[in-house]
Amino acid sequence: MAKIAVIDYDMGNLHSACKGLAQAGATPVVTESAQEIEAADAVVLPGVGAFDYAMEQVRAKDLEGPIRGAIASGKPFLGICVGLQMLFDRSEEGQQPGLGIIPGVVRRFASEPGVTIPHMGWNALDLAQPDCSLWNGMGDAPWMYFVHSYYVDPEDKSIRAATVTHGSQTITAAVQGQFLGSPRPNLMAVQFHPEKSSTAGLKALANFVEIVRTAVPC
């Protein structure tokens, strides 16, 4: 079975994410150990809550180096929600610098009449990279569940694997690419919560496990 390190920095819906990974046939290991992260076949960085506190926790637990090392190694890496946002340079939500792995900024939704913030509920993905292995077997517009007031704005729009529209804004819902000198495009990260997204979300987690199992590029 594929061993997947689920990084524990005292934030994130760890139980639900682990349940979905286990249902797909993986062995999830909740850990803050650099050694376990390095030894795992793949890594998941979940996240719920405020950007600054998340970054403070990651740095307090000395996890920045292991996260960067996992991505640079080429092993499959999946960020979820704040676990996506922390990969960027900074966030308009706070003052802490992000991990700086993906060039870009996390921005707050602009206020619009009749548009609620946070963006909360179900949205159909527009697959910007339909051949991304994370979307295998999902059809053209899978529905996923979102809860967020901030969204990622990558400098390089070509890394967007999916987008959604909220009000008049089209925002990045997922990214996929090759960073930190990785030998292959192994980094995937999503703004939606796959563990809360019913059948489509569980399929995304199962696809991630299949990527790990077969060692194919994302």
**Strand pairing partners for 187?**
77, 177
What residue numbers bound the domain in which 203 lies? 3-214
Kindly list the averaged pLDDT for each block of 10 residues, start to end, along the chain of length 218: 92 80 92 96 93 96 97 97 97 97 96 90 96 94 96 98 94 97 96 94 95 78
Q: Total domain count for the chain?
A: 1
pLDDT score for 185: 94
- Per-residue tokens: 149: 């007031």
pLDDT score for 155: 98
Distance of CA 163 to CAs 30, 123, 134, 191, Å? Answer: 29, 10, 14, 10
The Cα–Cα gap between 12 and 19 comes to 13
The Cα–Cα gap between 48 and 40 comes to 23
Whichever domain contains 93, its CATH number is 3.40.50.880
pLDDT score for 14: 80
Q: Which residues are catalytic?
A: 81, 193, 195
Q: What's the predicted TM-score (pTM) here?
A: 0.96
The SS3 assignment for 55 reads: helix
